[in-house]
Each structure stands twice: as structure tokens, then as C-alpha cells.
Structure 1
Amino acid sequence: MRNGRGFRRRCKETEMTHVVILGAGIAGVSAAYALKSRLGPDDSVTVVSDKPYFHFVPSNPWVAMGWRERADVAFPIGPYLESRGIVFIASGVRCIQPDIIQIDLENGDVLFYDYLLIATGTAPLADEVPGMAEHTESVIHIEQAERALAAYRAFLERPGPVVIGAAAGASMLGPLYEYAFLIDADLRRRNIRERVPITLVTPEPWPGHLGLGGEGTSRGAVTAALADTGIRVICNALTTRIDRDTIHVAEVTATGSVKRTHALPSAYSVYWPAFGGVRGVRSASDLVDARGLVVVDEYLRNPEYPNVFGLGACVARAPVEATPVAVGAPESVYSIQKAGEIAVQNILADLAGAPPVSHVPQRARWLSDMGTNGAAYQSEPQVPLRDVNWMRQGRWVHQAKVDFEKYFVNTIRLHPADEVTAAASSIAGLMTRALAGKNGGHDGPAGADLAGNGKPWQVRLPQGPGVELRALAESLGRAPDALAGELLAAAVSDAKSYLDPAAVDAMARARRHLLVEDLPEREPGAERRGGT
């Protein structure tokens, strides 16, 4: 074990600690917020990312369907990090030199660190399947989701067979099913589903395996959902080649021999590749495995360099069980958050000379949208034998995922509690008075149905603002009710940014209560408790 701690020894005179985080996604930004709030005032946190924005990855399938705009789930992250005193550098990483605790950036900068937290996400290994990069779409990154949307809209002009698939070794397969169900729901809304056969191609040994193993209720529930929607599924599938309009698949037996081959016609296809490490991290051979993923122990530290931590999808994980076609381990926002808490705690423990906390056992939880329905899955612990393993379906899951997206994005955009609000902002003034317990204006003005669906909400504006609204709407050529709803949605979003974490949690609980209250029915679906 090498410690790579020369920089920390040089800084001991000032008792400063410098933590560098690579990646400004769900893992990196959450860890940066937590570390900055718990380190000392003289300590520093630097976030490095090759992308200047944060985006909420679980919403990519919605972006690819045109159900979300980029602005709904992606925004420049620098101002939010810097408002907390976190340094942000928009640059890719050229190389990591853990022996001299140095990071060389593509912009020419050189960083030294006491602790390094790698949370870069992954790079798709699409070249492992000939033709995948050229002839299929992807929703791994938001730019890919936008390209998939453009291709989908072109496909709708000339509908044909759809193939949604995953390559051997692919992980995080929940969105594979989610996207297939979303396309099914969208085509039904357009009344063209009967013209579009959908085939799901997966390396899993059975539907709903998800890289978790331990055959529980998920197999029956997922199989039933696929049958109900008329989606054909091919399991134990090894995708061998992809042509412009044909997907070539070898279906194997339990022993790995070829059972049959398929040449699937495709007018539109989306594929999940296997993942590897990003460039720059991949070159640090002492830190990564053969695919460039970061090697960590049960404390999320690299075994060779214990001041280097890995977090999120960039971490190397062994398969839960052997399968005829390789299936990677899953990941979710929940598991990333929990791992982030452990990584932060262990960095602080090391500073304090305390023992680290293990990240074992992990737990798996996620929400998958199915259009107007959805499926929620939980497994505790993630690897067999499990004490809890259940899956529930119902419209409430769809609502819960919408709610969670808004909650998480607003949490990332949350202003620090001590930040001074802009004096010129009417919303800032109103929220300041409201949070101080004062009457901030007229009671109960305002809104229409913000989401554009559900129960309409009657709005009564005083004459002055009402006239101003109608005049504004007329000048823009808009209907006053529609414009009022959009303005109110924007105002509510801005107002939430002034809440502290406790108030954000309270609002999330109230929102869930209101959403459940409005549901016409709740469908518990399949549930099972106990070992599997």
C-alpha cells in the first residue's frame, strides 16, 4: 500500500486540507456539497469536470422522448459550486499521477491534492460491438438523448420495427426496460403501436434480473409487464454485429453455447453498451482495472492509494453472479447517494484519525417510469441472500419519479443558507418576509395547473396584477391562463431556491402527500418479503 500523501505533509504547517473531486454529476456535486459543509473554514474543495453543466441522468429517457427539455434537467454548475466556496474548473483530465499526488488537466493546469475523489461516470465501450456506434442511438449522456429524440422524430415519419438492447457486460439495465415501456406508451398515444413491433434484447438470463441475481418477484412482474405491452424479449442475448437496419444476435444456452441466431430488422434502435473508465482516469494504471474503472475496497478507497476514493458508476464492481452472457452490476441515484455519504465520512474519519466505515452491504432502490404507470424496486442488501426483495407497480411510481426529479434538481440548485438574496428581486423579498413569519402579500394568489394536467386550480388576482397579466399575455399573443401557469411555475421554482435543507425536505413530504391524495387509485402490484 502506497500512501501518496506528500502534499498533505507539506501543508501540515497550515493545517489545510485540499480535496479534489473529478466529476460534476450526481456523485461529484453531492459529495462536494457535503465535504465543503463539514470541512474546516481553511480547507478547500475543488471540482473538475470536462462539462460545465450538471444534468440529472435518470431523466435522459424522458429527454429522448421529448417529454423533457434540456433546460429542465441540465444547467451550468459553476455558479452553484462557487456560491458555496467550492472551486470549479471546467476541463478534462489528461492524467492522474497518484505517486506524486498530482493531476494534469487538459487546459494545462496542474492540481495537487490531499484526497482525490473520482466520480467521473463512465465512457461507453460501443466499439466492442461492430456497428453499434454508427447505427444505434443511446441515452447515456444528455447530448446522446437529444440525438436519439431527433432520430425518433424522423422514425415517426416512417415507422417500423424498434429494437431496444444491451451489449454483453452492460450494467445499470433498469433504463433499458424503462425506455422500452416509454416508447410503447408514446406509440399508443399516437395510435400507431400496432404498426411497430418492439423487441428488447438483453444479456440477462431472465427479464428483470438487472444484474442483481436472486430470482424474486421482479422476474414475474417484469415478464408480465412485457407480455401486457406486447414487447418481445430475447434473454441470454449476445449482440454480435449491428448493421444500418439489422441487429444480429446470438441467443445462448445456460452453458454458453449458441442456441439460435436472430437477424432483427430495425427502423429505430437504442443500445446500452458496456462501460469503461473515462480518458485521463483510464491511464492511471495503478488505480483502475483492465476496463479503466476505479478499483476500491469496502471503504471506497483505492487499495494502493488510500487517499484516492471512487464513487458512482466509475467504480469497478464484480458481477453479483456468473451468467451465460456477462451482466454488469447495477447502480442508482439512491446507491450513489449512500456511497457518497460513506466516502465523505471516511475522508473525514481519516483526517480525524478515526476508523473508516464499510460500504458493505449495499442496497438497491430505483424508480422506473412506464408512461402513466411505473415500477419501484428495492433489494436489501444488493447481493444475495436478501432480507428484503420487492417490486411494486402503479401510477404512483410514475408520480414519484417526477417528484424525485424535481426534488433532486432543486436540491442541487439550492442556495447556501447564508447567501444574501438580491435586493431587486421581488421573489427574494417575498420569501424573506415569508420565512421570517410575516405576511408577504396577498393571500392565495395564484396559479393554474402548473404541470399542464391534473385538477385545475382557480386563481383570483387583484385587479392591478390581473390587468398587467392580461396586457402582458396580449402583447405576447398568449392565452392569459396559460401564461399565468408558466409564470407561476417559474416563480415557485425560484422561490424554492431560498429554502434551507430542512424546508426542502418538508416541502418534498408535503408534495408526496398531495400527489398521493390526488391519485384515483393505487395499484400495489407484486410484493414479497423474506430471503430469496
Structure 2
Amino acid sequence: MTHVVILGAGIAGVTAAYALKSKLGPHDEVTVVSDKPYFHFVPSNPWIAMGWRERADIAFPIGPYLEARGIKFIHSGVKRIQPDVIQVDLDNGDVLFYDTLLIATGVAGRADEVPGLAEHTHSVLHIEQAERALAAYREFVRRPGPIVIGAAPGASVLGPLYEYAFLVDADLKRRNIRERVPITLVTPEPWPGHLGLGRDGASRGAVTAALVDTKISVICNARTVSVDKDAIHIVELDAAGNEKRTHALPYAYSMYWPAFGGVAGVSSASGLVDARGLVVVDEYLRNPDFPNVFALGACVAQPAVQDTPVPVGAPDSVYSIQKASEIVVHNIVAQATDVPLASYVPQRAKWLSDMGNTGATYLSEPQVPLRDINWMRQGRWVHQAKVDFEKYFVNRIRLQPSGQAPSAASRIADVMGRVLSERRRDRTTPALAAPPGSGKPLEIRMPLDPCVELRALAKSVGEDANALAAELLAAAVADAKGYLNEAAVEAMALARRQLLVEALPERQPGVEFHGGGT
């Protein structure tokens, strides 16, 4: 019997836990530890910060889904990792011994490396930060002014920097106040669209054109020095790394992407991490000094692809994490069965960025130069593809194990509980009808008796019959998906994508979305 302990219940940790439990023996144990009781789909954080998603759309308690698969879940932070005695000490006082340890904790933003950054700017690195950013943004639109969206020196995974800038542009246009809000993008990259990948390619021209088209100013080779309540202080370097000019950018609202470091409990693990607290791994995603310790996701120490005047970290994406998860799961199982390990080199970078009503997709293969494929495509289909991928991935995490039905605590129960609760709070005020849906009408023929029952139900709780029917149908569909197996979830995702693409008002013949990550 072997015991695998996984630190982290995010995209990397949960994906690996599901796969390991299915591949290990029936007597092998998998334990997941997380300082948060929920899973959340991190790439949707910019949407949370714009008010385009609710927390419940992308975050939900993960314990029941892990335990339904026979995976033990412990809600606790990590106090200390002791790889020399194969032990993890938890904040709750528990001590875990492991045969194999997989670190998938994600990262902590090092906002303290730039004086004033944490106090005066916002972030979308974590969902709680995105929610605070939304509250501040809603105050900002009441008294608009300049916006600065930036990345600190050494920041990694810079896709969200551009995505958030384009989302803000789209949102301000919808509010008819864009002309009153100058937007400046501040980046350590040597040019727009560098993204930490190095080498000039298709992304440079496409990103530059998009910034010009949306009238977003950009400062590259930018080292953010400090932030105070009135201005963000920038030193702009030239290509040789010499100081070119300084900027004091006034702002009424600012979003910043910090440099990454290891989370508490991992960053102090001597022999496992580098100077920034990120886990050092070899080509098999295991630590060179402790081969029973693996790492996956953003917590992995990745060297910069190339030297730049201002440090720029390496990229990452859900697609890359998924591919790495396949490798790390194979290697953990292989190590226990004396099967040859698989290498994670070369890597492949691929992601989707939302730009409001449109979007951009990027592919680089291999991820490091010299690469054979390097392209970027734009269009409304990419925006829809990202929306679709979010739903697909969340559905996969919520997938019930084979042979299990959804819990009795269904979404229909949630709908009726909310309706009745609102009714109890205000028995004198009739409920307002929900606004009509924006989708294509779907004709549903119902026998007379259920139709009358539905109308009577709606009348009894003071709801509009059409609005209640729409909510109950949506809840019933959500519950029905819980009966699908993995193959059916894949088939549903494909069918959904086909239906959505057919309905798009803008089409780009010859350009197809073929899976991948965000």
C-alpha cells in the first residue's frame, strides 16, 4: 500500500488527485490538503473582478467531490514540510507521513517587493482579491479617472495582464464612459505580447494592434519602483538595460500582477525550493534531492526563457498544467512500479484570452525557442471558446464518480429554498418577474397537468411562472449532468461548442478551436 499526499486543491491538485486515485491500486491512499475548503477556476478571476461572474459560478466546496472518489480531504494550511523524514506538519496540528508527496499549492503574490503596491493597488491572483477589486471598481466608475494596469518586475504568466486591460476597455465602453478614462498598461516585457516566451513573433504585432485599436497606452521595459496614493512611479529602461526615462502615473484605480513566490509552509522547505520559495524539479517534475517529492503547476520554479532588461517570468496555462499533470501522474505510478519515467521536456504553451466581445488564442510549440509553431488568432469565437472551456472544466471537476447519483441536496432544492426564503422574508411584496433570457427561444411542449402544476406552484410562492420555469429547468439540467460519465461530459462539451459557434454573429472560416487550455 502506498500513500500519496497532495498539497493544494486547485486546478493542478484536484486534476492530479482524480487521476492518481483511478490509476493506483484499491488499497493505495490519496490525501489532499488545502488551506481553502473550495475549488475555484482561477482563469475566471478577471471576470469576477469585472462583475461578469459570481463566485458560485466558478467556486464550490471540493471536499464532497474528493471524498466521493475515496480521496481523503483535510482543510488545513501547511506549517512545515520535512522531506528528510517524509513528513508534513499541518497548521491544525496533524502530522502526515507519505510515500510520495505532490506539491500543487499554487503561489503567493510578492506584492511587498514594491513599496505601496499591496496598499494601493488590486490583484486578481486569488478570488478574494478579485472580489475586493470588483468592489473598488464599482466605486471607481462612479467617479472615473485614469486607470493603470501593470505587472511588477519578475512577474510570470502575463496573459491576465492583457486580458484584464481589454475587459476594462470593453466594460467602460458599455457604460459609455471610456472617453473619460485613460488606460495605461505597464509591463516589464521588452515589447507587448512577449509574455515571457522570448523571440519576436505573431503575438507582438497582434497585441500591439489591439492596444492601439482600444487606445490603451503601454510602457514596456518598465520597472515599477513604488506606489503611493496619488501616483505609480515607473523607471523605463532601454534595450541595453539603461535608464531611459521616469514616469509618475496618476491613477484613480489600479490593478497589478505581482511577482510570484512560494506559499507559507512550502517556501521554507529547505532542499526543495529556490530563493523565491518555488519548488525545484527536474525534467520528470520531481525534486532532484528528494525523488519522492513532485511538484505541479505555478509553484514549480521555472527559469526565465531569456534575459530581458527587466526580469520577466515564464508563462503557464491550464493547458500546460493539464499536460504536466498527465506526466506527473504517470511518473508517480511508474516510480512505484519500476516503469520508466516520462520527461516533461519540451513544453507546449497554449492559452485563451478574453477581450470583451472578442478574444485571442496563442500557441507556442515547443514553449521554449527555437520553436516550430508560434501563432496568434483573434476573433469572437475565442471569447466564446474561453466561456465554453470554463464550463467544461468546472463540469469535469464536479463529475460524479461512476455509478453514483447526484446528492439529494440538488440545485432544484437550492432554487426552491431561495424562493421560499425570499417569500418568508417579505410576504407582502410580490416577487418581480425575472428579465427575459437573451438566448434563442426553446419550444417545450408540456402535458396540461404539469403545466398547470407549475403555474400553480409559481402563483403560490409569488413568482412569475415563466421565470420560475426557466430557473427550475436550468437547475434540472445542472443536476442531470451529474449522472454523466467522463465520456458523456466530453461529448456534451463538443455538442455545446458546436451549438454556440453556430450561433455566433461573427465567424472566421478556416480557424477552429481545437481544445486546449486557458
Question: How far apart, in 1, do the equivalents of 2:344 and 2:107 lie?
Answer: 21
Query: Secondary structure of 1:233's partner?
Result: strand
The aligned residue for residue 168 of structure 2 is 183
Aligned ranges 1:481-520 → 2 under 5 Å: 481-520=466-505
CA, structure 1 residues 451+119, in 2 after alignment: closer, same or farther (shift >3 Å)?
farther
Q: CA, structure 1 residues 427+38, in 2 after alignment: closer, same or farther (shift >3 Å)?
A: farther
Report how far residue 524 of structure 1 moved. Answer: 6.8
Task: Please state if 1:276 is matched with 2:261.
Answer: yes
The 2-side partners of 1:235 and 1:453 are apart by 40
| 1:224 has 2:199 as partner | no
Identity value in percent: 76
The question of 1:245 aligning with 2:201 is answered no
The answer on 1:25 being equivalent to 2:20 is no
2:359 aligned partner, one-letter code: G
Among candidates 10, 18, 33, match of residue 48 of structure 1: 33
Give me the whole-angstrom Cα distance separating, in 1, the residues matched to 2:460 and 2:136. Answer: 36
Partner of 2:187: 202
- Matched residue, 1:400: 385
CA drift at 1:513: 1.0
Query: SS at 1:399's partner residue?
Result: helix
What is the one-letter code of the residue matched to 1:61? P
Match of 2:341 in 1: 356
Aligned to 1:437: none
Given that 1:217 and 1:526 are in contact with CA atoms closer than 8 Å, whether structure 2 keeps it comes out as no
Aligned to 2:198: 213
* Cα distance between partner residues in 2 of 1:424 and 1:67: 27
TM-score (normalizing by structure 2): 0.92
Distance 1:426 1:75, change over 3 A: closer
The CA distance in 1 between the partners of 2:314 and 2:407, in whole Å, is 46
Q: Which residue of 1 aligns with 2:426?
A: none
Contact 2:144 2:180 in 1 (8 A): yes
Q: What is aligned with 1:71?
A: 56
Moved more, 160-169 or 467-476: 467-476
Q: Given residue 66 of structure 1, which amino acid in structure 2 is its aligned partner?
A: G
Q: Identify which of 471, 474, 488 aligns with 2:456.
A: 471
In structure 2, what is the equivalent of residue 13 of structure 1?
none
Partners of 2:475 and 2:20 lie apart in 1 by 30
- The alpha carbon displacement at 1:491 in A equals 1.5
Partner of 1:3 in structure 2? none
AA at the equivalent of 2:352:
L
Q: How far, CA to CA, are the matches of 1:463 and 1:349 in structure 2?
A: 60
3-state SS in 2 of match to 1:351: helix
The answer as to whether partners of 1:393 and 1:526 remain within 8 angstroms in 2 is no
CA RMSD after TM alignment: 2.0
Q: Which one is further off, 382-391 or 457-466?
A: 457-466
Identify the residue that residue 327 of structure 1 maps to in structure 2.
Answer: 312
Residue 468 of structure 1: CA displacement? Answer: 3.0
Is contact 1:135-1:242 (8 Å) kept? yes
Residues in 2 aligned to 1:476 and 1:68: alpha-carbon distance in whole angstroms:
28
Q: Secondary structure at the match of 1:20?
A: strand
How far did residue 86 of structure 1 move? 0.3
What amino acid sits opposite 1:181 in the alignment? F
Listed as ranges, the matches of 1:76-155 within 5 Å are 76-155=61-140
CA change 1:225–1:281 in 2 (3 A) is: same
Tell me the CA shift for residue 423 of structure 1.
8.0
| Structure 1 residue ranges, 4+ long, deviating more than 3 angstroms after superposition | 420-428, 449-452, 471-479, 523-527
Whether 1:341 aligns to 2:359 is no
Paired residues, what number?
492
The alpha carbon displacement at 1:375 in A equals 0.5
The CA deviation at 1:456 is 2.3
Q: Which residue does the alignment assign to 2:152?
A: 167
Work out whether residues 411 and 475 of structure 2, in 8 Å CA contact, stay in contact via their aligned partners in 1: no
1:218-258 CA distance string (max 9 Å, x none)? 00000011111111111101000111121111110011111
* Bigger Cα displacement from structure 2, 201-210 vs 467-476: 467-476
Report the TM-score, using the length of structure 1 for normalisation.
0.90
C-alpha deviation, 1:354, in angstroms: 1.4
